[in-house]
Amino acid sequence: MEKQTTKPSDLPVLQKWFQAVITNVSGVSGGVASPEARSWIDIAPDELEAVVLPSQKRSSVQRLEVYANAYFARLCECLKAIFPLFAQTVGDELFDQFALGYLQQYPSRSYTLNRLGDRFVEFLNETRPAESGDEPGWADFIICLARLEWGIDQVFDGPGYEGQAVIGPLALKQLSPEDFWTSQLQLVPCLQTFAFSFPVNAYVTEAKKGTVEVAIPQPQPTWLALSRRDFVVRRIPLSHFQYVLLACLGEGMTVGEAIDEALHETGEPEDLPQVLAATFKKLATEELILAISSGA
């Protein structure tokens, strides 16, 4: 089979080849030799000048490297925009190492940069060093921080309930205890819940002030909800009971079933009636309940 050649009329082919070359994680030479690039223009790296002429100051490879370096620098900038406090915490040099390693392992395949960070937390988990001891360490903390920032990004860009009515505290009071116990709650679509081994929410609050360097906190189990109200992402601290309760309600359990399951997992407090009243008032005040349906 004869090798494909380029002509001025082959611009779409040349564009596809160029994209395959400069986005290849192995560099320009590796990109030229890749099956994807050779499916468009079948040349070896030492034949590159047949497609891209050298200039007075740069070889053909060096000319393409300008674009390849710019491409990966732009992707690193986009990742830093998604994980700004993670980048601030680990420092620019280490963040760039994380970002380039991630892009090599999980190259961008989507037409939109909104999906660029999809597997960043997964990458951090896969490449984390082994921890010594039983207590969570620095790697656990930065993974928690990345999980939170990725959640914030997804809640901001995801579906919301803007323009829809929600169930407020007064509407909850109008239900009889029996009806409420057997009802199902439809939670707002932007709700996400998290369990962390570090108090990352408090860390983010302090770090966002930007006035002083914030020390990495000590391990502490922390539960958090994210939601979006009026196109602003809200971080809502939760108790362990509230975290489990929301997870159960999100699975479609009735209020009574969710309460029983949450109590079974977290233990029953001495002031249970007050805890339940405060919990559901909080869910309604934070606008996390979109609708209530009868379980009868």
pLDDT in tens, 82-122: 999 999 999 999 999 999 999 989 988 888 888 899 999 99
Lowest-confidence region among 35-44, 115-124, 130-139, 140-149: 130-139
Burial of 280 (0-12, 13-18, 19+ CB in 10 A): buried
- In whole angstroms, how large is the CA radius of gyration of the chain? 26
Q: What is the pLDDT of residue 134?
A: 73
Q: Long-range contacts of range 272-280, CB-CB < 8 Å, 24 or more positions apart?
A: 275/241, 279/239, 279/241, 279/242, 279/245, 280/172
Is pLDDT above 80 for 175? Answer: yes
Supply the pTM of this predicted model: 0.84
CATH class of 158-293: alpha beta
Rounded mean pLDDT, 116-141? 88
d(CA 249, CA 270): 23
pLDDT in tens, 176-227: 888 999 999 999 999 999 999 999 999 999 998 876 678 889 999 999 999 9
Q: What is the pLDDT of residue 296?
A: 52
Rounded mean pLDDT, 116-138? 87
Is pLDDT above 80 for 133? Answer: no
Q: What is the pLDDT of residue 1?
A: 43
pLDDT in tens, 254-296: 999 999 999 999 998 889 999 999 999 999 999 999 999 876 5
Instruction: Name the residue ranges covered by the structural domains of the chain.
Output: 1-79, 158-293
CA-angle at 98, arms to 93 and 102, nearest 5°: 145
Q: What is the pLDDT of residue 8?
A: 43
Whether 51 and 17 have beta carbons less than 8 Å apart is answered as yes
